[in-house]
Amino acid sequence: MPSIHPSAVRASFDSLPFGIPVRRIFWIAAILLVVALVGQAMSRFLVVTPTSYGPLWPNRAWLLPHLLGGALALLAGLLQFWAGLRRRHPAMHRWIGRAYLVGVAISAASAYALSLRAVLGWAFGTATFVMASVWVGTTLMAFVAIRTGQVAAHREWMLRSYVVALGFVFFRLMVVSPLLTGLGSLPERYTALLWLSWTVPLFVAEVILQWRRSVPAATGIRAVASS
C-alpha cells in the first residue's frame, strides 16, 4: 500500500475553501474586531456612572469584572493561536494560556451572577447561563487535554473555547446591525442574538474540525483504491 506523505495531506487541506488564506483572513478580522470591541466597551464602562451604564447600572458590580475578564481572554486567546510564538517561545505560550484561564474564570463567574440578575428577563438570563457553561466546559476540556499530553485535542478544544469567547464580539456586531434592530422586542431580540452569537460559529468550527479529519481519510481511501 503506498504511503501518504504529510505534505500531500496538507496541500489537499490548503486547497479547500477554508484553507490557509481564509484562516489568515479570519484571524486578522478577529484581531480587529476584538480590539475594536474592547476599546468600545472599556471607553463606556470604565466610566462608572448611571449615565454610562444605563439600565445595566444595578449590575455594575458584576458587569465590569465580566468585561475585563472577557477582554483578557479574548486578547490572550488570540496570542494562543499565534503558531510562531507557540513554537519559538513555549514558556510564554503557557503563561498566556494561564492568563486565558484567569480571564475565562473571571468573566464566566460574573456571567453566572449576571444571569441570575438579568435586567432583560429570565430568557436572556438562561441564555447567558448556558453560554457561560459551554465556555467553561470547552475551556476545561482544553486544560485537561494538555495536562494529559493530548496536544491535538487541546488545540481543538481551545478553538471551540475561543469561538464561544468570540460570541461576545458577534453579539455586539449583531446588536448594532441596522438589519436586526426592528426584530421583536428588545428582550426577544437580545436573547435570540445571544444564542446565535455562539451556537452558529461553534457549529461552523466543528464542521471545519471534522472536515480536517475526513481529508486524510478520503486521500487514504483513494490511494488504496488506486494501488
Q: How do residues 56-99 score in pLDDT, each as one tens digit? A: 888 888 888 998 899 899 989 888 877 777 888 888 889 999 99
- Looking at this protein, which amino acid is placed at residue 13? F
Sign of the CA dihedral with 78 first, then 82, 85, and 87 last? positive
What pLDDT score does 226 carry?
53
What pLDDT score does 3 carry?
39
Q: Is residue 106 part of a domain?
A: yes
What pLDDT score does 103 carry?
96
What pLDDT score does 2 carry?
40
- Looking at this protein, which amino acid is placed at residue 205? A
What pLDDT score does 89 carry?
86
Q: Which DSSP symbol is given to 59?
A: G
Say how far apart CA 91 and CA 80 lie, in whole Å.
12
pTM attached to this predicted model = 0.78
φ, ψ for residue 151, nearest 5 deg = -65, -45
In the chain, the number of structural domains is: 1
Q: Is residue 46 part of a domain?
A: yes
What pLDDT score does 116 carry?
92
112 close to 129: Cβ distance less than 8 angstroms:
yes
What pLDDT score does 23 carry?
64
Q: Is residue 1 part of a domain?
A: no
Q: How do residues 199-219 score in pLDDT, each as one tens digit? A: 999 999 999 988 877 765 555
Low-confidence ranges of the chain (pLDDT < 50): 1-18, 223-224
42 close to 67: Cβ distance less than 8 angstroms:
yes
What pLDDT score does 21 carry?
64
3-class DSSP assignment, residue 150: coil
Say how far apart CA 96 and CA 78 lie, in whole Å.
10
What pLDDT score does 156 carry?
93
Q: Is residue 62 part of a domain?
A: yes
Q: Is residue 206 part of a domain?
A: yes
Q: Is residue 129 part of a domain?
A: yes
Q: Which DSSP symbol is given to 81?
A: T
Q: Is residue 15 part of a domain?
A: yes
Q: Is residue 209 part of a domain?
A: yes
Task: Please state, in angstroms and as integers, the Cα–Cα distance from residue 90 to each residue in 39, 75, 84, 97, 158, following that order.
Answer: 29, 18, 10, 10, 16
205 close to 170: Cβ distance less than 8 angstroms:
no
3-class DSSP assignment, residue 134: helix
Spatial CA neighbour of 168 closest among 28, 30, 23, 24:
30
What range does the domain containing 18 cover? 6-226
Vertex 89: Cα angle to 88 and 91 (nearest 5): 150
